[in-house]
Amino acid sequence: MRSADQRLAEGPASLAESRAAATDLPYAAVLFDCDGVLVDSESLTQSVLRDMLEELGWRLTHEECISRFVGRALKDEWRVIEEHTGVRIDEAWLAGFRRRRDDALRAGLTAIPGIEAVLASVVGAYGERTAVATGADRAKCELQLSLTGLGRFFSGRVFSGMETPRSKPAPDVYLAAAAALGIDPHRTAVVEDTATGVRAGVAAGARVFAYSAGLPASTPPEALLAAGAAEVFSDMRELPALLGV
């Protein structure tokens, strides 16, 4: 078997290679969340959101903002924002948030430690039966993959919950990704880092592996298990073995 370094140098396997390899693998496909799984973006995004909510009159600590909003589609949180500020956020406010968020990402985004070698192994084995299924908007996801150089692992295989009838915790984005790959969702593995995302993967019928690194923006392991995660891991280097690679 090729090493992780060899796979990283070679790039993702061809479709033919991936189908041949998939016969010996425990899952038909692997679907990755993006924020908190591939890229370390949550603290940056939540700092911008906290500042903008404070401008509306709702003062939250960074930790409170993370607890309330990580893993959720901001557009769906308008009721709680209106309850605390008296302001009904609209598309113009959301567009301003996205501009400020993207500026923060361009200035400070990093990849999750070890993820390149992990993707070299996992995508090297599963090939084109891998995809990103994010609850965020496509522009954000593709920006982050471009900034970190991880986009080369998922060419044409990025799915956004903003483009499905319902976002996470509904299973729609995972079902859409599985359908596009031609895979039974019950035969997929999902990699998540929030309770909301775990519930989405479980609702799709997938086996969910949850990453909890113990950082301020990380969801505690017990919350991930309560949401239905099959296993929780704290070091990204553990993931290939969990996926049979």
Kindly list the distances between the CA atom of residue 218 and the CA atoms of 8, 40, 210, 212, 224, in Å, as whole numbers in the listed order: 27, 10, 10, 6, 10
| CATH architecture observed for domain 4-40+110-242 | 3-Layer(aba) Sandwich (3.40)
Q: What is the pLDDT of residue 8?
A: 39
Q: What is the mean pLDDT of the chain?
A: 89
Which residue reads 């430690």 in tokens? 113
Pairing of strands 231-233, 207-211: parallel
Q: Which pLDDT value is given to residue 29?
A: 98
pLDDT number for residue 23: 64
Q: Would you state the pLDDT for residue 73?
A: 78
pLDDT at 25 (0 to 100): 97
**pLDDT, position 123:** 97
d(CA 14, CA 193): 28
- The predicted pLDDT at position 69 comes to 86
CA distance 195 to 165: 20
Helix axes 42-55, 62-69, angle to 10 degrees: 100
What's the pLDDT score for residue 206?
98
Per-residue model confidence (pLDDT) at position 16:
36
In which residue ranges of the chain is pLDDT below 70? 1-23, 71
| In the chain, where the domains are located | 4-40+110-242, 42-108
Two domains, one topology: 4-40+110-242 and 42-108: no
User: Looking at residue 7, what is its pLDDT?
Assistant: 40
Q: Does domain 42-108 have CATH number 1.10.150?
A: yes
- Tell me the whole-structure pTM to 2 decimals: 0.82
